A and B are shown apart, each in its own frame.
Chain A
Amino acid sequence: NAGVMQNPRHLVRRRGQEARLRCSPMKGHSHVYWYRQLPEEGLKFMVYLQKENIIDESGMPKERFSAEFPKEGPSILRIQQVVRGDSAAYFCASSQREGVDEKLFFGSGTQLSVL
């Protein structure tokens, strides 16, 4: 049973380009969470999605960032017109159900570097 898969592992973009980060949750998991880790900081919650629904996007920047989790396929975190400040590690996590007692499984992350 594969874990949470994120790709690519490393993504390099120039300022103004678009970045697309993919996350395939564990098999049987329908809840996906995206977190961002800036250098020397802890992870910061961005967005919580269930299949085809955004449940909580309170941590998403108001502009340029969007996320989706379609009925089929991986969850996508999309960053338009990237800036240097978007450089960070982006982690995806999944769980089988909602609830604080549900175990959260993390992927290995995508390291985004903006030149």
Chain B
Amino acid sequence: AQSVTQLDSQVPVFEEAPVELRCNYSSSVSVYLFWYVQYPNQGLQLLLKYLSGSTLVKGINGFEAEFNKSQTSFHLRKPSVHISDTAEYFCAVSGGYNKLIFGAGTRLAVHP
């Protein structure tokens, strides 16, 4: 069975500081991994995804993530955050086609 664990429920950070949101997964089949962002009162938007190839994946809004098979991790990073990055971030693994298994989410709060 596949599962996703997001290790931090909340991450406070100051504007222009770097941030890392942690995600560990468990999967017995081919691994396809995703990061989504949810702004207040909105649906989820895809930030980036790993399907195959390079383990460093670049996404929108300056985010990137690294797939680490040996550590079963897919951590999300941004070198310098902005106030507008304040949102909830979800890591997900594919359970086949577009059936996604989501983590519980990490609330990123960027302070001035």
Contacts and interface: CB of A to CB of B under 8 A. Distances in A.
A and B assemble together: yes
Interface of A: 4, 31, 33, 35, 40-45, 48, 56, 91, 93, 95, 98-104, 106-109
A106 B99 CA distance: 13
Nearest to B44: A106
22 contacts: A31-B98, A33-B98, A35-B100, A35-B102, A41-B105, A42-B4, A42-B6, A42-B92, A42-B102, A42-B103, A43-B90, A44-B102, A45-B100, A48-B98, A56-B99, A91-B43, A93-B44, A93-B98, A100-B32, A104-B46, A106-B44, A106-B45
Contacts of A31: 98
B4 to A, nearest CB: 8
Contacts of A98: 97-98
B-side interface size class: 20 to 34
A95 B43 contact: no
At the interface, is chain B mostly helix, strand, loop or mixed?
loop
Given A48-B98, A100-B94, A108-B42, 7 more contacts: A35-B100, A93-B43, A98-B98, A99-B97, A99-B98, A100-B32, A106-B44
Contacts of A99: 97-98
Interface of B: 4, 6, 32, 41-46, 51, 90, 92, 94-105
Nearest to B88: A42
A41 B32 CA distance: 21
Given A40-B104, A42-B105, A43-B90, A100 B44 contact: no
Q: Indicate the member of B90, B98, B102, B105 with the most A CB atoms within 10 Å.
A: B98
Nearest to B105: A42
Given A48-B97, A48-B98, A41 B43 contact: no
A45 B41 CA distance: 19
Contacts of B97: 48, 98-100, 102
B98 A100 contact: yes
Contacts of A35: 100, 102
Contact of B104 (A42, A95, A101, A107): A42
